[in-house]
Amino acid sequence: MAKRDRQAQSPSSDDNSGFSQVSDGDPDFGNISQPATQSLLQDSYRPRKPRSAAVASTAKRRAADAEDDEDDNDEGSYSETVVKVTKKARRNTIIGKLEDLDFEVEQEDEVYSSVTQIEKSGKMRGVSTASVKTTKTVKTPSKPAVVSDTPKRKRKTKEEKEAEKMPLADRALNCAFKIGAHVSSAAGVENSVTNATRIGANAFALFLKSQRKWESPPYKPTNISTFKKFTKAQNYDSRKHMLPHGSYLVNLAQKDKEKATKAYTSFIDDLKRAESLSIGLFNFHPGSSLGEPRDEAIERIANALNKAHKETGFVKTVLETMAGQGNVIGCKFEDLRDIIALVEDKSRVGVCIDTCHSFSAGYDLRSPETYSAVMKEFDEVIGFEYLSALHLNDSKAPFNSHRDLHQNIGLGFLGLSAFRNVMNTKEFRDLPMVLETPLIDDDVSVWAKEIKLLESLVGLEADDPIFLALEKEYADKGAAERKAVLDKLEKKEAEKEEKEAKKKEKAEKRAEKEKLKDQKAKKKTPKKSTAGKKGKLSKGTLESDSSELSELETGSDTDASSCGGKH
């Protein structure tokens, strides 16, 4: 009977063309593409069923098949069977924008069907439902995207790369003053030689490794061999005219043992790199006392140099003059003199004068007279025999400002006159003279022009019309920037004075307030209480009081007689 009912109610196979029946009897929901929720009664029939109805029909047939497994004699029994099938039907990803914020939506549809079969008194009722469950997951960045106005760097064309290899100036090989710049050694230390040649430099500085890291990978044998090959081909004297610069992280004056060890390890690594390239000089900043006693810091620097000299062969350690910010050592010639005095091997230590630093530290290099006085002081305090190199930089900051701000030659507060003085000092011949002036967009042609400018100052007198015209030209170029710096400093100084005045006024008000408080406290001083002593006066006390009264009476007579009896 159950079989006949099922056959009468089952739709034809043509109605199920929208999906296929899998071999294990489970319905295949892979072709369902739209949500549907509806109830299907046992006697419902449509010529062309939607896919959701096909799902329900399949579930209903499954329930009927389960009924066939039981004997027809159990018609009077009651049983209930629930079948639930869940299967993912589709997954979509939508990418879009919402209020300038990128987002990604992952949409997942789940189709499930449930069939409840009830058998009672030989009659069967089947209720099947089918629906689609949709889940959406929105993925957004953890932080809002930052929109940068800076345009992306374009790749250089082949023509631009070729142009970068072309020389910007010829080297003046016969010039007694070896001028150059601090060139890049990116993509290989050997590239520093070609970069120096390109700007017409007869000397140059470089970083032997990243100055922002404590550790860097060692040189490859090809780096060393190519560097030496280029050096020989371009006729550079690596022992005399190359001046590597030490890492800005290193502080040999450091008291902390762990940090001092870290600094020394980086320092000695640089020295060994220099010797592997056959470079004879190594310039570095002396360091900072960090608030510790200055003489102790100087001693630590000297001890580090003595140790380093014993671990290396020939490289000379060159101390640079500093601008004098905070606890920095080297702003005075005496600091460098004291370090040299403690160095055991004097042939392994030297000094580099930085024109910007020394000017900011209070050494006036501008006029011929003040310049001569500074050079005389240097010779007396340190000695020209220790002078090993120069850094040529103008200053954005005024004289004696103790600020390390480099400016292009002739545009700053030093002016072109200071560099005319430098380029006519015979003691500087054959020393590496290195530019550390700023560049705009890494345009190294600035250095090529400055090298030629400095070379043109050799032999010019201070009153030479050619020099005076050049001095005025460069001074006018930098006038606006110098004025802006002065205005800024004046404003800052005025703010400082105003702050000090307010601080002083506040201190005066506080002092006045404390004074009034003390005066009030004196007025409110409590009198000695005698209430507890009433009725307890001793005989001796009474006698004392009576004697005092008699003395007062006697005193009164005496006073009257002393006034001449006029009262």
Angstrom distance (rounded) from CA 447 to CA 74: 105
Angstrom distance (rounded) from CA 391 to CA 352: 7
Measured at the CA of 393, the angle between CA 291 and CA 391, to 5 degrees, comes to: 75
Angstrom distance (rounded) from CA 297 to CA 275: 27
* Contact predicate 175/458, CB 8 Å: yes
Catalytic residue among 354, 394, 450, 471: 354
Active site residue 285: yes
Which residue, chain included where needed, has tokens 């329900």? Answer: 56
Active site residue 379: no
Catalytic residue among 273, 406, 420, 482: 406
* Residue 540, Ramachandran bin (φ over 0: left; ψ between -120 and 50: alpha; else beta): alpha
Active site residue 245: yes
Active site residue 334: no
Active site residue 248: yes
Burial class (CB in 10 A: 0-12, 13-18, 19+), 23: exposed
Q: What is the DSSP code string of 316-338?
A: EEEEEP----TTBS-SSHHHHHH
435, 436, 438, 441 alpha-carbon torsion, rounded to 10°: 80
Which residue, chain included where needed, has tokens 């929109």? Answer: 147
Catalytic residue among 364, 379, 436, 455: 436
Active site residue 404: yes
Active site residue 354: yes
Catalytic residue among 46, 91, 125, 212: 212
Active site residue 391: yes
Burial class (CB in 10 A: 0-12, 13-18, 19+), 419: buried
Catalytic residue among 241, 309, 391, 482: 391
Calculate helix-pair angle for 465-523, 415-422, nearest 10 degrees.
120
* Contact predicate 418/381, CB 8 Å: no
Task: Give the type of residue at 58.
Answer: T
Catalytic residue among 171, 273, 357, 420: 357
Active site residue 236: no
Catalytic residue among 67, 109, 270, 320: 320
Are β-strands 123-139 and 101-120 bridged in parallel, bridged antiparallel, or unpaired? antiparallel
Angstrom distance (rounded) from CA 319 to CA 330: 8
Measured at the CA of 27, the angle between CA 79 and CA 62, to 5 degrees, comes to: 25
Active site residue 394: no
Catalytic residues: 212, 245, 248, 285, 320, 354, 357, 391, 404, 406, 436
